[in-house]
Amino acid sequence: MKTNKFISGIVSALLIAANIPAALPANAAGQTYTLNGAGQHKGTGPDGYSYEIWAADTNQPSSMTLGDNGTFTTKWNCAGPSGNFLARRGIDMGSTKKFQDYGGITCDFDVSWSASSQGNSRLCIYGWTQNPLVEYYIVEDWKNWCPPNGTPGAGSPLGTVDLDGAKYYIYKENRNSYTIEGNKPFVQYFSVRSSGRTSGTISVSKHFEAWESKGLQMGKMYEVAFNVEGWESNGEANVKKNTITLGKGPEPEKPVEPVEPDANGYYFNTDFESGKSNWTGRGSASVSASTGYDGSKGIVASDRTEKWHGAAIELDENAFKAGETYSLGVMAMQNADSSATMKLSLQYNNGSGENYDEVATAKASKGQWVSVSNPTYTIPAGASDLLLYIETTDSLADIYVDNAFGAVSGTKPSVTPSTSTPVTIDPTPVTSKTDKIKIMPAGDSITFGMGDDGGYRKFLDYFLKEKGYTNVDFVGPEGSNSATFSYNGKTVTYDDNHAGYSGYTIKQHAGGWSNNSGLYETLKNKNAVKSADPDIILLIIGTNDMTANRSMNECEDDLHTLLDYMLGDMSSDGMIFLSTIPELSAFGGGDNTQKIANYNSLVKKVAQEYSSSGKHVTFADIHGCLNGTADLGDGIHPSKAGYEKMGKYWAGVIDEYISASSGPAVQPSTGIRGDTNSDGVVDSFDLIPLRKSILAVMAGSGKAAPNSDVNGDGDVSVADLVTLKQFLLGKISKFPDVVTTSTTTVPRITTTTTTTKPISQGQNLNAQIRQDMPTSVPSGNEQSNKCKVEKKTYNCKFTGGQKSCNVILPPNYNSSKQYPVMYVLHGIGGNEDSMLSGMGVQELLAGLISNGKAEEMIIVLPSQYTSKNGSQGGFGINQEVCAAYDNFLYDISDSLIPYIEANYPVKTGRENRAITGFSMGGREAIYIGLMRPDLFAYVGGACPAPGITPGSDMFMTHPGCMQESEMKFRDVGPEPNVFFITGGTNDSVVGTFPKQYSDILTRNGVDHVYQSIPGGGHGDNSVKPHLYTFFRYAFK
C-alpha cells in the first residue's frame, strides 16, 4: 500500500466532451520504464492516460511497459521486509470536482497475472481525493490475502454493497503517514470484492455512492487509476484492457431471474457428500469435512471461542425474499458436553446495521443428532445480506452438521434422526515409552549428518533413551542398525537408519547436482515410507532449494507433493513433523536471512494448512532452536553443538507428542475439575477431550475443553493429563488446590515449536518484584544533572549506513571500571534523543545509584528505525514503518551491542545486559527479549504498543511478528531473570494491549510480572514507576 511518497503539484488532465482522456505530449506507447530498487517514474502517455511505476524498501528490479488506451504490462520484485511496489494508469483530475460532477465513472478491465505465494499482491481501482483527504481502493483480485484485514468480510466492515455481480465489503481505516499533501493523518476507504476476478466492469462511482451512504464522505477527485500493487511479493501482470470512462454509468444490469425450487420444494438441500459446499466458519470457527449422520459425510465447525461462532452460509436473495416464509433447517450434533442447545439463526441487515433472529433451537445430548429446523420461518421485512448459521447457546463444543436445507414453507427435512447416532472420531494413537516407536528422519544432508557423522540423529537417540524411551526404532532405507559415537566421555550406541540424502531438493528439478536428487522421487522409488511404516517422520528439507534460488511457489507445490505421498503411504495414526531449516551463510555471496525467513514462513503455512484440514502434519521449528549462523559448522550444516541442540529439540517434541497421546487406565470418580466432556462425572471418557485439548494447544490453536485445567495451575498442558491419570489410577485422592495468587506466573510449557531449557541462569527475581513494585516513584529517588551523555555513531550492518545513539554514563563514571549495560528504547516517531528527558531515565539512574538501590550501569538510548532505504523514519503508523522498527532486532544484535562492547568498559554476556522501552520501544524490547534470550537476562516494556501478535488498533491492523501461540522465549538461551511489563489503566493510545500481552504469556506458560498503574496514561506516570522497579532489579 503506497503511503510514503510526496507528490508535489497537481496536474489536471484535459477531458474531451465524451470524457475520454485527451492526448497529451508524452513518451510513446511501448516505452519501458525500469527501476533498479526503490524509485519512481510518472507522467502522461499519448493516449491521455497517466502512468506511474513506484517502488520502496527494495533493491530488486521492476519494470512497466506502456500500451495503447490505458493498457500496460509490468514485472516486479519487492519480496523482503516492507518491500512495496505499484504500477498504474488512469486519469489525473486535478482536485477540482467531486465524483458526482463527472456523471458516472466506470472502468472496463481485463488482466492476466501471477504473483508469488509470499506477501500480498492485488488488482484494484486506486486514487485520492482532497478536502477531505482520502486514499481509496476498490479491490477486485488478490493473492495470498487481501487488504485491509486478510479476507473479504474479516474484521469489522461498515456494511456491504452488491455491484457488478458480487458483494463488496466496505471498510474505513485511519492512518497517519505520507500523503499527496505531505505527512499527516488521513483516512482510507475500501471496497473488497467477496470473490476475486480478473476482468469485467467496475462501477467506480457506484462504490463512491455506497461509501457516502455509510457516512464516508468523498472529497474532490485527485485521480482515478487501475492499479497493480505488490507488498513483499514478486510477480507480473498484463493489463490487456483498461478503459476508464467518465460521463456515463455502467450498462443497466439485466434483471435476475428468480430462483425456483426443485420438484420437492428445495432451494438447496446439501448432504455434504461432495464437500463443504458454500459453508464457511463464523467468528473464529473453522469448517472442515467430517463424519456426518449415520456414517455419511458432513462438516464440523471447530476452534469455537464464543458460543455464536459456528458454520454459516449466505442465502441467495433471489430465492429467499424479505417478508416471505420458508422452511429452513440442519441436522446437528456435538460430542463433548453432556447436553447442549443447538440454535439456528439468521443474521441480516435492515439498513441501520446487523441484526440477528432465531430460526429454531433443539437440545442435543452428547453424541446425539438432532433436527434444528423451522418449517414456517418468516424472514424479517426489509432484511438483506442474509446469513444462515448454526451456533449454541451454552457450549463451545465442536458442532457437526449434515443435511442442511432451505425450502418452500411447510417442507419437511429430507432426513430426520431417529436414534442417537454418535460421530465416529479417530482416536488419538495410544502409545507409551515402552511401546515400539518407529521414527524416520528424512531430508537432505542436514538429516544425513554432513560435517558430523550421525548429525542430530545420534543425539536424538541418546536423549530419547535419557527420557526413558526403551524401544525406539529409527527407520529408513539408508544407514545401519547400529553405530557409535563418543559423548560425555562415553561410547554411545545409536540406531543409524535414516532417509537423509546430501544435496537433495524437495523434488527433482533440472539443474540439480545429479539426475536423481529429489527426496520425493527417491523415497517413492525405494517405497521407503510404506515399507518402513513409521509412526513419526521428522522432515527437514529445503536448504538446497534455497541455494538453487527456487521460487516459493515451486517450493510450496513440491512440499504438497512430498507430504501427500508420505501421508498416503504411512499409517493413518502416524504424524509428520514438518520443520523449518537452519540459517545459510555459505551461498549467494550475501545475506540469506530474508530468503530463509521466507521459506520458513512457507513451511509454517503449509504445515498449518494440512493440520487445519485434519491431516497429520505438525509444524516444528528447528531454525528456532539454533543460534543463527553461529551454530553452523561450514556455513550450511550445523556444527556438532548445533546438531546436539537439534537432537535435544526433537527429543522434546517427540516426548510431548507421545506423552499427550498416551492412553491411561479407567477408574470412576466424581468431581467438576477434570470433567472435560461435561457429563457430570470424572472418568476415563474425559481423557480423550483432554488429550485433544493439549494437542490443540501444541498446534497453536490454544483452544481447550471446559474443565481442562486439572491441576489448577491456570494453564492447560501435559501436566494436567498426568494429574488426571494419577487420579484415575488412584495414585492421588483429590486434585491439587487451585492456584489463587494474583501473580501471572504459571509453569513453563514446552510445545512442538520450542524445546525445554533452563528456567534462568542466576536468580529469577519475578517473585520478588511482585511484592515490590510501587505504582508511583517514592520521593527522593530522582537526581538531576548527575549523568554524562555522549552521542555516538556506528555502522549498521543491516542498512549498510550509519546510525546514532546516546550513551548515558552513570555518576562517578570510571573508564577503568566495567559496567553492565541497559538499552532503553523510544516510542514511534522518536529517535536517540527522545528518552533523554521527560521520562526520568537519567534522574532515576542517578538517584537510585546514589541511594544504593540500583547497580552502577551504562544506559544506551538507540534510534530504532532500521530501514535499508536510508530513511530516518517518521511518525507514520503502517506496516512499512512497523517493520522497520522490528528490524532493530538485527541492528542491536549484530551492530549496536558489538559497538558498545568495543568502545566502552562494559561487562559482557547476557547476565550483564538489560532491555526495556516505552510504547513502540516497549513492544520492540519485549519482541527482542523473546527472540534473543541469549543476549538479555533482564527484559521489560512500559505501555508496549500492539503488533507483537496480530491485532487491530485505531491506526491499523497489525499482522503480528508472531502468532499468539508463539509468544514465548526462543530456545537460544535461558529465560531471563526478570520479565516485567507495565501498563496504565487510562492509556488512550495502546489501550489494553499491555494486559493482553500478559494474558497471552500466561496462556503460553511464560513466567513474567504484569504491573497495572491505576490511572496511568501513555506517558511518564506509567513509565517512571516501570523504570523505578526495573532499574532496581536489573543486574542483581
Nearest-10 Cα torsion for 879, 880, 885, 886? 60
In DSSP notation, 96-117 reads: -S-GGGGT-EEEEEEEEEEE-S
Max CA pair span of the chain: 95
What pLDDT sits at residue 21? 34
Nearest-10 Cα torsion for 986, 989, 993, 994? -60
What pLDDT sits at residue 441? 97
The amino acid present at 444, given as its one-letter code, is: D
Residue 132: CA count within 13 A, CB half-sphere: 14
pLDDT surpassing 70 at residue 734 = yes
Contact call for residues 334 and 416 (beta carbons, < 8 A)? no
Contact call for residues 265 and 411 (beta carbons, < 8 A)? yes
Query: In the structure grid, which three cell numbers stand for residue 726, read together?
Result: 494419577
Cα–Cα dist 815/817, whole Å: 5
The amino acid present at 616, given as its one-letter code, is: H
Buried b (16+ CB within 10 A) or exposed e, 693-704: bbbbbbbbbbbb
- The model's confidence at residue 111, banded by pLDDT at 50, 70 and 90, is very high
Cα–Cα dist 969/203, whole Å: 50
In DSSP notation, 899-912 reads: HHHHHS-B--SGGG
SS3 169: strand
- The model's confidence at residue 467, banded by pLDDT at 50, 70 and 90, is confident
SS3 978: strand
| Span 121-136, pLDDT tens digits | 999 999 999 989 999 9
What pLDDT sits at residue 38? 85
pLDDT surpassing 90 at residue 810 = yes
- The model's confidence at residue 823, banded by pLDDT at 50, 70 and 90, is very high
What pLDDT sits at residue 953? 76
pLDDT surpassing 50 at residue 757 = no
Distances (CA, A) of 1016 to 426, 527, 680, 996: 52, 65, 45, 16
What pLDDT sits at residue 367? 82
What pLDDT sits at residue 180? 82
What percent of the chain shows pLDDT beyond 70? 84
Distances (CA, A) of 975 to 14, 117, 277, 424, 521: 66, 35, 48, 43, 43
Helices (H) and strands (E) in the chain, counts: 20, 45
Instruction: Provide mean pLDDT across the span 668-675.
Output: 54
Contact call for residues 720 and 708 (beta carbons, < 8 A)? yes
Under 8 Å CB-to-CB from 780, ≥6 apart: which residues?
847, 851
Residue-averaged pLDDT of the chain: 83
| Span 430-459, pLDDT tens digits | 345 667 889 999 999 999 998 889 999 999
Contact call for residues 406 and 388 (beta carbons, < 8 A)? yes
Q: For residue 200, is it left (φ>0), alpha (ψ between -120 and 50) or beta?
A: left
Contact call for residues 833 and 821 (beta carbons, < 8 A)? no
Contact call for residues 621 and 538 (beta carbons, < 8 A)? no
| 844 or 306, which is more confident | 844
Instruction: Provide mean pLDDT across the span 153-179.
Output: 85
What pLDDT sits at residue 609? 84
| Span 179-211, pLDDT tens digits | 888 778 889 999 999 888 999 999 999 999 999
Strands across the sheet with 310-314, in order? 280-282, 310-314, 384-392, 339-349, 354-365
| 44 or 757, which is more confident | 44
pLDDT surpassing 50 at residue 947 = yes
What pLDDT sits at residue 394? 85
Cα–Cα dist 302/283, whole Å: 11
| Span 615-630, pLDDT tens digits | 889 989 898 888 888 8
Using only C-alpha atoms, the chain has a radius of gyration, in whole angstroms, of 31
As a residue count, the chain comes to 1036
pLDDT surpassing 80 at residue 702 = no
What pLDDT sits at residue 299? 92
In DSSP notation, 565-626 reads: HHHHHS-TT-EEEEE------SSTTS--HHHHHHHHHHHHHHHHHHHHTT-SEEEE-HHHHS
Instruction: Provide mean pLDDT across the span 290-308.
Output: 84
> Which of 76-85, 662-671, 841-850 has the largest mean confidence?
841-850
Distances (CA, A) of 921 to 524, 829, 885, 889: 51, 10, 9, 11
| 462 or 277, which is more confident | 462
The amino acid present at 338, given as its one-letter code, is: S
| Span 214-241, pLDDT tens digits | 889 999 999 999 999 998 888 999 999 9
* Full set of structural domains in the chain with CATH: 32-246 (2.60.120.180), 266-408 (2.60.120.260), 437-661 (3.40.50.1110), 663-740 (1.10.1330.10), 766-1033 (3.40.50.1820)
pLDDT surpassing 70 at residue 10 = no
Range from 21-25, 509-513, 567-571 carrying the lowest mean pLDDT: 21-25
What pLDDT sits at residue 429? 42
Burial of 629 (C-beta count, 10 Å sphere; 0-12/13-18/19+): middle
What pLDDT sits at residue 694? 65
| Span 966-999, pLDDT tens digits | 899 987 778 899 999 999 988 878 889 999 999 9
Cα–Cα dist 12/90, whole Å: 12
Cα–Cα dist 942/1027, whole Å: 8
Specify which residues 361 forms β-bridges with.
343
What pLDDT sits at residue 763? 73
Specify which residues 345 forms β-bridges with.
358, 389
Q: How far apart are the first and last CA of the chain?
A: 47
Q: Quick one: angle between helices 640-661 and 687-699, nearest 10?
A: 150
Cα–Cα dist 628/632, whole Å: 8
What pLDDT sits at residue 636? 87
- Chain mean position to CA 515: 38
Contact call for residues 1022 and 966 (beta carbons, < 8 A)? no
Under 8 Å CB-to-CB from 275, ≥6 apart: which residues?
289
In DSSP notation, 782-836 reads: --SS-SEEEEEEEE-TTTSSEEEEEEEEPTT--TTS-B-EEEEE--TT--TTTTS
| Span 511-564, pLDDT tens digits | 555 456 799 999 998 889 988 889 899 999 999 998 888 899 999 999 999 999
pLDDT surpassing 70 at residue 681 = no
| Span 372-424, pLDDT tens digits | 999 999 999 888 889 999 999 888 889 999 999 999 999 888 777 654 333 33
Residue 1028: CA count within 13 A, CB half-sphere: 21
| 857 or 282, which is more confident | 857
pLDDT surpassing 50 at residue 753 = no
Under 8 Å CB-to-CB from 88, ≥6 apart: which residues?
51, 52, 126, 225, 226, 227, 228
Contact call for residues 110 and 67 (beta carbons, < 8 A)? no
Cα–Cα dist 656/664, whole Å: 15
Question: Which among 172, 162, 231, 156 is positioned nearest to 195, based on CA atoms?
Answer: 162
What percent of the chain shows pLDDT beyond 90? 44
Instruction: Provide mean pLDDT across the span 345-369.
Output: 84
Enzyme catalytic residues: 135, 229
Burial of 682 (C-beta count, 10 Å sphere; 0-12/13-18/19+): buried
